[in-house]
Amino acid sequence: MIFNWKDRFSTGIEEIDKQHKRLFEIGGEIYNLATLKDGQDHYDEIIALLGHLKEYTEYHFGYEEELMEKYNYNKLEEHKQQHEMFVKKLVEIDTQDIDSKQKKVILDILDFIVNWISSHILGADFQYKDIIK
Ligand SMILES: [Fe+2]
Ligand SMILES: [Fe+2]
């Protein structure tokens, strides 16, 4: 399961790892709600988690960018652009509470997180780790 933290996701920077672990947690919580087979509708809870995800995203990207600035990281602009792209995608997730769309919203959120983990953390974030460490 992609939302289980594994050492291969570690940057070796304690605070960054802590924040990335939070992303895994949010992903896991959304996944668990989305796959519950209790006959209940958990859409409202998923939307609440999406709210947390938005707050977390802002906080984490801000933290990372400040850190990269502090170390005069040469790929800062590139990295910021990737962050902006993720924020844009997140804003674009259409959360209209229409029954037929619920599944799509949930899949969009999960897809967003999986993409962030597999392409951004293992890609762009891994590129700065040795400079900051
Ligand atoms: Fe990150
Ligand atoms: Fe990043």
Q: In terms of residue numbers, what domain contains 115?
A: 13-132
**Which residue type, as a one-letter code, is found at position 69?**
E
Q: Measured between alpha carbons, how far is residue 41 from residues 53, 66, 131 in Å?
A: 20, 40, 46
* Closest ligand to Cα 17: 1
User: Has residue 72 been placed in a domain?
Assistant: yes
User: Has residue 63 been placed in a domain?
Assistant: yes
Distance 98 CA to ligand 2 centre (A): 33
Number of other residues whose CB lies within 10 A of the CB of residue 66:
9
Q: Which two tokens stand for residue 95?
A: 């959360």
Distance 2 CA to ligand 2 centre (A): 18
Q: Per-residue pLDDT for the chain (133 aa), expressed as one digit of tens each?
A: 779 999 999 999 999 999 999 999 999 999 998 889 999 988 889 999 999 999 999 999 999 999 999 999 999 999 999 999 999 999 998 888 777 788 888 889 999 999 999 899 999 999 999 998 8
Report, in angstroms and rounded to the nearest whole number, the Rg of the chain calculated over CA atoms: 16
Alpha-carbon distance of 101 to 124, in angstroms, equals: 32
Distance 28 CA to ligand 2 centre (A): 20
Distance 120 CA to ligand 1 centre (A): 7
User: Has residue 105 been placed in a domain?
Assistant: yes
CATH number at residue 106: 1.20.120.50
Distance 40 CA to ligand 1 centre (A): 34
Query: Residues whose CB is under 5 A from ligand 1 (ion)?
Result: 125
Distance 20 CA to ligand 2 centre (A): 10
3-state secondary structure of 74: coil
Number of domains in the chain: 1
User: Has residue 4 been placed in a domain?
Assistant: no
